[in-house]
Structure 1
């Protein structure tokens, strides 16, 4: 096999023997293999010494005081939307869409509602699953006291409430408009609070908030 590959003349090479590595490559002269001299600038500016304060052995470590949040009061914090589009807050997922992956979402949360905002725009509002202990845990993880809820203010007379039965497809009829409530509410009697920008679907008996949607209705 060695003779076949290296010694015998090859027809494809015009009856020449194959070129061996020794024929193709030559060793580098010794003077060219010497290491390259280290180059330094002509002058070096000394770096001023930094004073390091001594640390007392018995000194207690200084800890930053977390913001004070009253028990059960709303908090705010940031979350980055992951590539899956599912934002997780205290083991609950919020679908934000893969097109929002990498965006920073501002979460406003209390024990009743959770608002999700991106760039100051409210993306969705859902019923909260958080307890007072959950809010305390979020505070220890960096949440800060929340400002006013991001829902638009409602003046007296600006909101009305009606009752509807949700259809099999999860919709209700409002002012000659077919509005999506939720498929999971199909067949259920719900109350609907109609505000200038928001529809709130709730249980008529307990007033428990079930869903929040954008209001597609005109004022008239």
Structure 2
């Protein structure tokens, strides 16, 4: 990571280092859980064997805490934690999120010593209130989630990040389409403008630049 930090500084220059954060990515405990036992078992245990579920969540959470703090020790400014889409799917009961996931997310947020961003794919509107009570500094949403509904659910407990479509708009759209969708997100009240998920390979650089230009134009017009 220290070598990556040097490479990063070489490209952005010391004068921009404070303006451009170095954000690392790390899969969350629920995703690690599904890698170890498969999604099917994770879902079944969450409903029928919560004790099994909690044992695995405990182990996976501690692994994530240790790795996350190592990343901060090596110089990252913030950590983005994509944790699958189970919490936003109809397969995961809300009781499992509340009773068997939320406590471990709260532990992770308490013990990790730096800014934490949670990203979960899919329509997680019904889960946002619970997720925002875990202690994450920000929550990243994709374009399936209404910004207005997300803001209402989260309140001031976390910053909202998103949610320009990375495929329909950034990958296949035009710079003008990117700007239009980006400004719609800002008008809706998103705190940090960003793609709704990872940027796809072959996304035109002109479209990525249009995303930044839209943000700058928006705030220039406001001021």
TM-score calculated relative to the size of structure 2: 0.23
TM-score, reference length from structure 1:
0.24
Find the structure with the greater CA-based Rg: 1
Structure showing the higher strand proportion among its residues:
1
Between structures 1 and 2, the one with greater helix share: 2
